[in-house]
Amino acid sequence: MGNAADAGDASLLRLETRGAVLTVGLNRPAKRNALNDGIILALRDCFSAIPEEIGAVVIHGIGDHFSSGLDLSELTERDATEGLVHSQMWHRVFDRIQYCRVPVIAALKGAVIGGGLELACAAHIRVAEPSAYFALPEGQRGIFVGGGGSVRLPRLIGVPRMADMMLTGRVYSATEGAAYGFSQYLTEADGALPKALELAERVAANAPLTNFAVLQALPMIAEANPQTGLLMESLMATVAQSDKEAKKRIRAFLDRKTAKVKPT
């Protein structure tokens, strides 16, 4: 089993840089992008070294699917102690994604199953096309989610729906995923990656401190008691507005040198 000292298999990710956007393609299409140790550790390596010039990341699947989840062939010989180490390794890697310096957008198509769904949960924005379908077949395999899904997914869709997914193993459609709050965007056919790239360019152009506040402070503020949350909000707002980048952007608006807010 992969451990902290191992390097990931870089060939299992296809990395491309377009301007300030890094695209990370899960590159194991023959296995429907099943997540083995090599790919998980490659994600760790990738998200540990996001280059300075990158302002957003798009993660997607090469081939017809996002990911079929945990590579089940790695599970057959694992004992309980190894299982705990493995699950905690996934937690650390997916935390790196959730607490990434820059926004991470998941472009979803085809199977988004089990650990693949858990990976998508660690992203900040999920964009799905109609072919995307979501399932947690862990119950059918006699296991439980191990990649942070029981923490992240109920915060998106609620405990009752997650319990339904886990108990029934039912496949949820892309439409249901959007209706239940999992995906923020539902596109036309083949539209997930283009839409994710468009959104990535947009968020990469934000002031870095705004993105920092949204990624790092907002989740904590939302979970804090109201008094603590309001104080944290005031502190974050004060830091952001004091930054020279905010002054520059506000001045540009007042001088009519930047776009107005208009419906797109």
Ligand X SMILES: COc1cc(/C=C/C(=O)SCCNC(=O)CCNC(=O)[C@H](O)C(C)(C)COP(=O)(O)OP(=O)(O)OC[C@H]2O[C@@H](n3cnc4c(N)ncnc43)[C@H](O)[C@@H]2OP(=O)(O)O)ccc1O
Question: How remote is the C-alpha of 24 from its chain's centroid?
Answer: 11
Q: Which of residues 6-65 bind ligand X (CB under 6 A)?
A: 31-32, 34, 65
CA distances from 35 to 77, 231, 234 (A): 16, 41, 41
What are the φ/ψ torsions at residue 91 (nearest 5 degrees)?
-55, -45
Q: Min. distance of Cβ 182 from ligand X in angstroms? A: 16
Residue 68 interacting with ligand X (CB under 6 A): yes
Q: Does 2 bind ligand X (CB under 6 A)?
A: no
Q: Is 176 a catalytic residue?
A: no
Residue 137 binds ligand X, judged by CB under 6 A: yes
Minimum gap (Å) between residue 49 Cβ and ligand X: 23
Which residue among 2, 61, 115, 177 contacts ligand X (CB under 6 A)?
115
For residue 53, the SS3 value is coil
Assess 83 for contact with ligand X (CB under 6 A): yes
Residue 213, token pair as written in the block: 């506040």
Among 8, 103, 114, 177, binds ligand X (CB under 6 A): 114
| CB neighbour class for 195 (10 Å; exposed up to 12, middle 13-18, buried from 19) | buried
Residue 69 touching ligand X (CB under 6 A):
yes
State in angstroms the smallest separation of the CB of 253 from ligand X: 46
Taking CB under 6 A as the criterion, which residues in 146-205 touch ligand X? 146-147
- Selecting among 16, 74, 129, 138, the annotated active-site residue is 138
Question: Which residue, 131 or 216, is less far from ligand X as judged by CB?
Answer: 131
The single residue among 9, 37, 129, 138 that binds ligand X, judged by CB under 6 A, is 138
Cα–Cα distances (Å) from 110 to 107, 155, 159, 192, in that order, read 10, 23, 24, 11
Q: What is the residue type of 25? A: G
State phi, psi for 26 to the nearest 5 degrees.
-70, 120
Give all strands of the β-sheet with 172-173 in edge-to-edge order. 111-113, 133-135, 172-173
Catalytic position from the list 118, 176, 223, 233: 118
Residue 31: CB minimum distance to ligand X, A: 4
| Shortest reach from residue 72's CB to ligand X, in Å | 4
What amino acid is encoded at 244 in this protein?
K
How many residues interact with ligand X (rule CB under 6 A)? Answer: 25
Report the C-alpha gap between 2 and 6 in whole angstroms. Answer: 6
Among residues 2, 4, 59, 65, the alpha carbon closest in space to that of 33 is found at 65
Residue 73 binds ligand X, judged by CB under 6 A: yes
> Phi and psi (nearest 5°) for 17?
-110, 125
Residue 200 in contact with residue 105, Cβ under 8 Å?
Answer: yes
Out of 12, 50, 58, 70, name the contact with ligand X by CB under 6 A: 70
Is 82 one of the annotated active-site residues of the chain?
no
Q: Which residues bind ligand X (CB under 6 A)?
A: 31-32, 34, 65, 68-73, 83, 86-87, 90, 111, 113-115, 137-138, 141, 143, 145-147
Give catalytic residue positions.
Answer: 118, 138
